[in-house]
A and B are shown apart, each in its own frame.
Chain A
């Protein structure tokens, strides 16, 4: 087990390292000199040189690369060109809101998706199966901003149950949940659709296994078979899919944050791109990479716990 984890950890470090290198070079390939972007075309050459020196852009690329890597490791991610404040501070400021949203969506997605998927598999080719499959497919087809707008229209405007703006800074738990509800539901629906489908096909596969047939033949109650034996094996693909679709989730959280005016990484990156804030952009790419690599690692490790066979692979 531990050698497996170590190996995964090694892979994670390699991936992280390569993506960070990629990020470094992408930001430097970007059209336009950051100093010029900040100061404007009319800036005097002296002023541009001064700012380049301040940003460390006058040093050889390899030195810059070393400093960048060292900075990433030590938490010095540079200063936002727009607000003039440390990038890492700005990111940490909104990170909780994004994590809160993502975790809530995951819980909702798994809570709805797993039971529906299992039910659908058990009642294969019966009415519930058809309805669930169509519904999950429909859920997958909604662009996140369209579903967000619809939720907003129905629950905030017509029914007035939830706030239009999700400010992400409620003081009591109740207020926070109230605030979080619509964005989380929006992301949760998409997640639930993904999970339903994966849970269904995983469950179908498990139901076809010999041991399930044997158990049935032994006269063990069907419900017991499902809960005792099948669910555990169904979980592996579900966990994979959560890891795999985290990217989709993060992408959709951008759209959700925009529609609900919710602070978060997504709005930060759209702002950084619009304002050509290279330092901020670089920091955001680093944090996205960190999150994705970390989640993939966790996914891999979780496998190990759910499926004892994995340690041999």
Chain B
């Protein structure tokens, strides 16, 4: 019996939680239709990035100095760069870097931040003070500056960039997870759970988490946008993934050197960043409006 219980319970729990979160999100999506637009655009970009090896017309790092700085044409839809590399292909491959760094770093930050917020909020007291004070200290540093220092210290590689960006994004998640935890932890159902002798861990992750997950996920979408922007900014400063790997920020950095004769070098990757970041913001913003308790019932 105990055996059956331990295997069935997590699955049931997971299902319940996903369903609850899913319902909340779908409701939010329907409340604010622009979220759908954001989601669709973002998914389209993800699909393009995934399919890059299949749909990219050229090798993104293949140089052809006899075709350098060509404007948009049938052969190169978005033109070529200083080395004769195909801009469209580089943008498609660049999307992978941006998305991987954005998604993984924020995924990590979300995980760590939420746990910190839950634990701090649930136990309260001195632990709460120490944890949140640490978060405030981290938060005190401008994220780009912190990223700059971490990447310059560790060297520009994808894992290091992910680490740097995740580090800057943990505190906001901790904060957003902590507030509702404090509000909910003394409600009747939690009291009931405690009376039944549930462990703290079970209470936190099974009963508290579902209540705060929608909000955390919504914030996640906005932070992915920020992460993509920060990655591009670091690359623009020269701290992105090393050449010849295509990154959007790096392409803009290189294109900036030819901005007078070949504006498209800067224009297309800029547009790419703008589209993704805007889509994510649209998505997150609409959802937040719908989930924000203060604005609830104001439809």
A contact set with B: CB distance below 8 Å: 14-15, 18-19, 22, 26, 30-31, 133, 137-138, 140-146, 149-150, 153, 157, 201, 204-205, 208, 246-252, 254-255, 258, 269-270, 273-274, 281, 285, 288-289, 292-293, 296
**Which of B113-121, B145-153, B199-207 contacts its partner?**
B145-153
Task: Compute how far the CA of A157 lies from the CA of B260 in the bound complex, rounded to whole angstroms.
Answer: 9
Task: Compute how far the CA of A149 lies from the CA of B144 in the bound complex, rounded to whole angstroms.
Answer: 19
Q: Name the one of B142, B274, B282 contacting A146, with C-beta atoms under 8 angstroms.
A: B274
Q: Name the one of A138, A201, A269 contacting B278, with C-beta atoms under 8 angstroms.
A: A138
| B140/A255 in contact, CB under 8 A | no
| B142/A292 in contact, CB under 8 A | yes
**Which of B19-27, B61-69, B101-109, B229-237 contacts its partner?**
B229-237
**Set of chain B residues within 8 Å of A288, measured between Cβ atoms:** 141-142, 145
Tell me, yes or no, whether B30 is within 8 Å of chain A by CB. no
Within 8 A of A (CB), among B90-135: 133-134
| A15/B136 in contact, CB under 8 A | yes
A selection of 20 A-B contacts at a CB cut-off of 8 Å is A15-B133, A15-B137, A22-B137, A137-B278, A137-B281, A137-B285, A141-B225, A143-B270, A144-B233, A146-B252, A146-B270, A146-B274, A153-B263, A205-B295, A248-B143, A250-B142, A255-B236, A258-B236, A288-B145, A289-B140
Tell me, yes or no, whether B277 is within 8 Å of chain A by CB. yes
| B145/A254 in contact, CB under 8 A | yes
Tell me, yes or no, whether B273 is within 8 Å of chain A by CB. yes
Cβ contacts B267-299/A at 8 Å (1 or 0 each): 000100110011001100100000010110010
Minimum CB distance partner of A246 in chain B: B142
| A281/B141 in contact, CB under 8 A | no
| A289/B281 in contact, CB under 8 A | no
**Set of chain A residues within 8 Å of B142, measured between Cβ atoms:** 246-251, 288, 292
| A15/B144 in contact, CB under 8 A | no
| B298/A208 in contact, CB under 8 A | yes
Given contacts A18-B133, A149-B270, A204-B298, contact A269 B281 (CB under 8 A): no
Q: How far is the CB of A246 from chain B (nearest CB, A)?
A: 8
**Set of chain A residues within 8 Å of B237, measured between Cβ atoms:** 254-255, 258, 270
**Set of chain B residues within 8 Å of A255, measured between Cβ atoms:** 144, 233, 236-237
**Set of chain B residues within 8 Å of A250, measured between Cβ atoms:** 142, 144-145
Q: How far is the CB of A262 from chain B (nearest CB, A)?
A: 15
| A149/B137 in contact, CB under 8 A | no
Given contacts A18-B133, A142-B274, A254-B237, contact A289 B141 (CB under 8 A): yes
Task: Compute how far the CA of A30 lies from the CA of B153 in the bound complex, rounded to whole angstroms.
Answer: 7
Q: How far is the CB of B144 from chain A (nearest CB, A)?
A: 3
| A247/B298 in contact, CB under 8 A | no
**Set of chain B residues within 8 Å of A293, measured between Cβ atoms:** 140
**Set of chain A residues within 8 Å of B139, measured between Cβ atoms:** 247
Task: Compute how far the CA of A149 lies from the CA of B265 in the bound complex, rounded to whole angstroms.
Answer: 12
Q: How far is the CB of B268 from chain A (nearest CB, A)?
A: 12
Given contacts A205-B294, A252-B144, contact A137 B282 (CB under 8 A): yes
Q: How far is the CB of A261 from chain B (nearest CB, A)?
A: 12
Q: How far is the CB of B108 from chain A (nearest CB, A)?
A: 20
**Set of chain B residues within 8 Å of A208, measured between Cβ atoms:** 298
| B232/A143 in contact, CB under 8 A | yes
| B143/A273 in contact, CB under 8 A | no
Which of B133, B134, B137, B260 has the most A CB atoms < 10 Å from its CB? B137
Task: Compute how far the CA of A153 lies from the CA of B270 in the bound complex, rounded to whole angstroms.
Answer: 14
**Set of chain A residues within 8 Å of B270, measured between Cβ atoms:** 143, 146, 149-150
Minimum CB distance partner of B172 in chain A: A244
Q: How far is the CB of A12 from chain B (nearest CB, A)?
A: 10
**Set of chain A residues within 8 Å of B144, measured between Cβ atoms:** 248, 250-252, 254-255
| A14/B133 in contact, CB under 8 A | yes
Task: Compute how far the CA of A22 lies from the CA of B256 in the bound complex, rounded to whole angstroms.
Answer: 36
Tell me, yes or no, whether B44 is within 8 Å of chain A by CB. no
Tell me, yes or no, whether B47 is within 8 Å of chain A by CB. no
Q: How far is the CB of B272 from chain A (nearest CB, A)?
A: 10
**Set of chain A residues within 8 Å of B149, measured between Cβ atoms:** 26, 269, 273, 281, 285
Which of A146, A201, A208, A247 has the most B CB atoms < 10 Å from its CB? A146
Tell me, yes or no, whether B209 is within 8 Å of chain A by CB. no
Minimum CB distance partner of B270 in chain A: A146
Task: Compute how far the CA of A247 lies from the CA of B263 in the bound complex, rounded to whole angstroms.
Answer: 31
